[in-house]
Amino acid sequence: MGVMVIPRAARVYICCALLGAAVCCAPALRPGAQTPWGAMALLAALYAVCELPARCRLLNRVLGGSVPMGAGSFFPVLLAAALLLPPAAAALTALPGALVARVEQPPAAVRRVWRAAQLVIAVWAAGLVAGALRRDDALGSGPHAPDFPYVLVPAGASALTFCLVLTALDGGIRATAEGLSARTAWRGLFGRALASYTVHGLAGLMMAVLWRSTYGPVAALFVLLPMYISCWVFAQYHRERAAHQATIRALVQAVDIKDGYTRGHSERVGRASVLIARELGMAEERLEILRFAGILHDVGKLGVPTRVLRKDGPLTPEERRIIELHPEYGHEIVRGIGFLGEARSAILHHHERMDGSGYPYGLSGQQIPEFARVVAVADAFDAMTSTRCYSRARPVETAVAELERCAGTHFDPRMVRALVRALDRHGWQKAVTADEAPLPGDGVPPPRPSAPTDTREAPGTGTDTPTGTRKAPGTGTAPGTGTDTPTGTAPRAGTEPFMPVPSTPVPKGRG
């Protein structure tokens, strides 16, 4: 791997932050300054000790790689310092912990220095605001109780300032290091961080109040124990969620490798399904599972022979029956994956039709699971608006008209209406991408011979909308093809400083 080059603008920005941090700390180091070195050293050591375990390989191994440490885990210590110490002294407490904290991405040294400067400035600003709001009087001391509820004002203001400064500096480094526009660099940073920093501020207030009480600093340490446990639980949750995502990615990649014309289709169906669900007012906790259902709806193609998936020409009735087994194959593949929940039924039933002519079981109406009815509409829409080897992507209006024509027979009218509302609200990105197969006469070289091709269409319509009839029980599944669907592109996701922003998946391939 080559050495990462930091853009000039980012280097200048980091140097300015270092200079600003030095200015913030300088008053505490002046001769004659009334700096409470004992309290400052204790808080600084406490923050450093909290950050050190993340760098300990042995402890990571004992805890299964989920030490609950990292940027933000123990900000309550810094916010307590902002409430207890003069601003310059509070700023110094962030230095040791920031310099020893674990860094995931290179360049590690530059990231540590940047993080230290960022935290110093943020803690200094938080302490300045808290001091201006009479934090000393509000906290009380010894036997004097804190001035509640006024004490919440300096505590809340310091936490808000801390959050504002950190997110402002984060946006600046993203803009200079990654070349993002100001709007993109700062978009969403503050909103995503505010709730977390509010909790940290309350924990910091508890530490400060106990520190000033008759029980002294030792009592303040007890605040960290529940904080540590909650961070550990949170780390475990994210570790499990990352494992779920990795499982989904592996399955989708396997399908994409086997049937190249579906590449990108699964992700788009997942996004489209979520758009429909939001219009229907589904609970937030179901949206992630529904997205998994859309992404994995065609995972059963792993059980279909590659020669059938990549056949260049119309399918025979026998080959079509083989293709129509993919929902059952998919259900068998994911049946043991517990976190998929309702998604499993959507994978099995997304080719059922409202009039009962679908497959594999010929369910009709409300017998078809809700998730399956959502995915069916999303799947069909993506198939019609994607360029295939045998047809150009249809206009959104044409695809919508086809869905509305088949509403009540093939598709749930409620899901179709929800998709139409979502398209009106969010629009649709229908541009043909470089990854989609060019059509004859486009003036573009044809795909390489190794690219899979597929000229299958639903019998009777010449479209990708399912129209076949179901066979009698015991004789296989009904002729007819599935359909497919989705939504435009997602906004760019935020990234760590100095890291490139991942590109948004765009529609490509066939469904």
pLDDT at 54: 56
Answer for the pair 385, 393: CB distance below 8 angstroms, yes or no.
yes
Neighbours of 304 (CB within 10 A): 19
Split at pLDDT 50, 70, 90, the class of 379 is very high
**What pLDDT does residue 88 have?**
96
Q: What percent of the chain has pLDDT over 70?
A: 76
Assign 53 a pLDDT band (cuts: 50, 70, 90). low
Whether the link from the prior residue into 473 is cis, omega within 30° of 0, is no
Contacts of 443 (CB under 8 A, 6+ apart): none
Do residues 355 and 469 lie in contact, with contact meaning Cβ atoms separated by under 8 Å?
A: no
Assigned token pair, 67: 């030490």
The mean pLDDT of 124-130, rounded to a whole number, is: 96
> Do 387 and 436 meet the contact criterion of CB atoms below 8 Å apart?
yes
Q: Percentages helix, strand, coil for the chain, rounded to the nearest 5?
A: 60, 0, 40
User: In this model, does residue 288 exceed pLDDT 80?
Assistant: yes
Is the CB of residue 108 less than 8 Å from the CB of residue 62?
Answer: no
Angle at alpha carbon of residue 203, lines to 199 and 206, rounded to 5°: 145
Judged against a pLDDT cut of 70, whether residue 511 lies above it is answered with no
Mean pLDDT of all residues in 258-265: 73
Cis peptide before 314 (omega within 30 of 0): no
How far is it between the farthest Cα atoms of the chain? 94
List, for residues 215-241, the tens digit of each pLDDT value.
888 888 787 777 777 767 767 777 787
Q: What's the rounded Cα separation, in Å, for the pair 288 and 469? A: 33
User: In this structure, are residues 212 and 181 in contact, taking their beta carbons and an 8 Å threshold?
Assistant: no
Q: What is the pLDDT of residues 145-159, one digit of tens each?
A: 888 899 999 999 999
Which of 55-59, 266-270, 406-410, 483-487 is the most confident on average? 406-410
User: Bridge partners of 70?
Assistant: none
Residue 125's pLDDT band, with cuts at 50, 70 and 90, is very high
pLDDT in tens, 33-46: 889 999 999 999 98
pLDDT (0 to 100) of residue 271: 87
458 close to 480: Cβ distance less than 8 angstroms = yes
Phi, psi values for residue 498, rounded to 5°: 70, 5
Lowest mean pLDDT among 86-95, 296-305, 351-360, 487-496: 487-496
The tokens of 299 are what? Answer: 């995972």
Query: 366: which residues sit within 8 A by CB, 6+ positions away?
Result: none
First to last CA, the chain: 37
Burial string for 73-102 (b: 16+ CB within 10 Å, else e) reads: bbbbbbbbbbbbbbbbbbbbbbbbbbebbb
Say whether the peptide bond before residue 360 is cis (omega within 30 degrees of 0): yes
282 SS3 class? coil
pLDDT tens sequence across 381-405: 988 888 765 467 788 889 999 999 9
Contact status, residue 162 vs residue 79, Cβ threshold 8 Å: yes
Q: What is the pLDDT of residues 250-261, one digit of tens each?
A: 888 888 788 766
142 strand-pairing partners: 213
Helices 75-84 and 152-178 pack at an angle, to 10 degrees, of: 130
Chain mean pLDDT for the chain: 78
The span from the CA of 231 to the CA of 445, in Å, is 54
Question: Could you report the per-residue pLDDT of 170-214, keeping only the tens digit for each?
Answer: 999 999 998 888 888 898 888 888 888 888 888 899 899 989 888
pLDDT band at 341 (very low <50, low <70, confident <90, very high): confident
**Which pLDDT value is given to residue 246?**
87
DSSP conformational letter for 435: T
Stretch among 210-219, 294-303, 403-412, 486-495 having the lowest mean pLDDT: 486-495
Residue 411, C-beta contacts closer than 8 angstroms, at least 6 positions apart: 353, 354, 373, 376, 377, 380, 403
